[in-house]
Amino acid sequence: MAWARGLNTIRVMPLRQTVDSAAAGRAIHARMGELFPLCRSISGEGLRDTLRLVQRDVPLDIVETPSGAQVLDWIVPNEWNIRAAWIDGPDGTRVVDFADSNLHVLNYSVPVDAVMSLDDLREHVFTDPRDPDLVPYRTSYYVERWGFCMSQRQLDALPPGEYRAFVDSTLAPGSVSYGEAVLKGATDEEVLLTTYACHPSLANDNLSGVALLAELGRVLAAQPALRFTYRLLWLPGTIGSICWLAANRSIVDRIRHGLVVSCVGDPGPFTYKRSRRGDSEIDQAVAHILRANPENRVLDWFPYGGDERQFCSPGFDLPVGAFSRTPADQFPEYHSSADNLEFVKPEYLAGSVETLLEVIDVIESNAGYLNRSPFGEPQLGKRGLYRGIGGGSSEEMALLWVLSLSDGTRTLLDIADSSGMDFHEIRLAADRLEAHDLLEAS
């Protein structure tokens, strides 16, 4: 990496080009393999263990908010921990076992040890209506109940008789944890990158985000210079972002850009959901990068989804969008045992890293400029800026676009959008013009 120190001097190479994204994709997938078996939830040791694994890549702090605390409009729930859970059938054979897959237990299930008829057991068993072979992922954070998840086919095959249901869990005062890492840049203005980290053995939703953010943190920390301060958050969904916002109201004004990252390992094209503002610079930057593939989608704000709901709540109204490949709940494997490590592939993770680095390149180096020779077109030939180019080349056009529109009212990203050219080409043109004193920061 070789960014010059100043913000408006020539960039030799964009961040994206300094990273071997294929290797990054493989590294993310390998991390996901380690994280996969842990039984995460919105609190508890599984979540803490996950954050500890991420600490190998990023020196994050594990922040605890005690159960019962008032956070914004919410009360922090009790902490949930689980050691074992199973159902034994009439003949004593084990029907399902938490040890095989943590999806088998209703997440946040209260403890139970009871013998009952199949009919009574059915009241506590969840299956996946979409596919009789899949085990669904179900939770009950805020209503106390116990339960199990299994495939519809398995449930249908259970013989009548006495079943023993056993859950060895605790739901008791403790705390909700999240991970936070801050990478100081040249300015106090912040880029917020978050993911939720509360799902158990589910790969795309949302281990892909957890592991990709770890890799992104590693890559950013390796840079000699960054314009923005980067704040990375691994949050249990909803309650985690609410805890963080409650504790950091004095910080939110520094947030210049933000992305909630999730579901970045599936084969789908990218989907970006705009911030509530709809026209913040991060919205413009992601839309600019995503237009490279017409299958990518940019959606207007809607008030359901992930933690962007909290960051964009009207009191905060932060410039935070949601970045994913196929959004949660729009791929068939969502919230089931099919969302596993085979579904998520290193090459898709690599593409996600690459695209996010392109976005970061844009926000890091976007700025407004003033043409210092605004009366008539400056004579580029005498400065060698036409040398070896030939009329009408893309490089020459980029120079002319920057000169024509750099009047203090537009950023380079605006110019890229107006011209239909890539931001990177426009950025390079601005660098060349600045080096010849034809451009200055506005």
CB of residue 420 vs its own copies: minimum separation in angstroms? 9
CB of 246 to its own copies, least distance (A): 8
Is the Cβ of residue 147 or residue 346 nearer to its own copies in the bound state? 147
**Exposed, middle or buried by CB within 10 Å (0-12, 13-18, 19+), for 116?**
middle
Encoded tokens for 408: 């203090």
**Residue 82 and residue 109: Cα distance in Å, rounded?**
9
Q: Which is nearer to its own copies, 16 or 276 (CB)?
A: 276
Specify the amino acid at residue 58. Answer: V
CB of 61 to its own copies, least distance (A): 21
* Smallest distance from its own copies to CB 406, Å: 7
**Which is nearer to its own copies, 198 or 312 (by Cβ)?**
312
With beta carbons less than 8 A apart as the criterion, state whether 368 and 411 touch: yes
Select 73 or 156, whichever has its Cβ closest to its own copies: 73
SS (H, E, C) 264-291: CCCCCCCEEECCCCCCCHHHHHHHHHHC
Give the tokens for residue 115.
Answer: 């013998």
Closest CA to 229 of 281, 180, 282, 182: 182
Place of tokens 């930057």: 285
Q: What are phi and psi of 214, to 5 degrees?
A: -60, -45
User: To the nearest whole angstrom, how small is the minimum distance from the Cβ of residue 142 to its own copies?
Assistant: 5
How many Å apart are CA 108 and CA 140, to the nearest integer?
A: 6
Instruction: Provide the token pair at 277.
Output: 């503002």
Task: Tokens for 373, please give them.
Answer: 């020779």
8 A C-beta contact, residue 442 and residue 406 = yes
Residue 126 or 228: which CB sits closer to its own copies? 126
* Both tokens assigned to 364: 């890091």
CB of 402 to its own copies, least distance (A): 9
Cα–Cα–Cα angle for 167, 168, 170, nearest 5°?
115
Fill in the amino acid letter for 23. Answer: A
- Answer whether the bond into residue 248 is a cis peptide, omega within 30°: no
Question: Within its chain, how far is the Cα of 409 from the centroid?
Answer: 32
State the nearest-atom distance from the C-beta of 329 to its own copies, in Å.
8
User: For residues 75 and 114, which CB has a smaller minimum distance to its own copies in the complex?
Assistant: 75
Closest CA to 349 of 13, 32, 57: 32
**Residue whose CB is less far from its own copies, 73 or 91:** 73
Closer CB to its own copies, 166 or 316, in the complex: 316
Report in angstroms how near the CB of residue 390 gets to its own copies at its nearest.
Answer: 13
* Nearer of residues 52 and 410 to its own copies, judged by Cβ: 410
Q: Nearest approach, Cβ of 12 to its own copies (angstroms)?
A: 26
Residue 46 or 237: the one with the smaller Cβ distance to its own copies is 237
> CA-CA distance, 105 to 45, in Å (whole number)?
16
- Tell me which residue has tokens 């010059």: 4
Least Å distance, CB 13 to its own copies, is 27
User: Which residues are near its own copies by CB under 8 A?
Assistant: 71-75, 142, 238, 241-242, 245-246, 249, 276, 301-304, 309-310, 312-317, 329, 371, 373-379, 381-382, 392, 396-397, 400-401, 403-407, 419
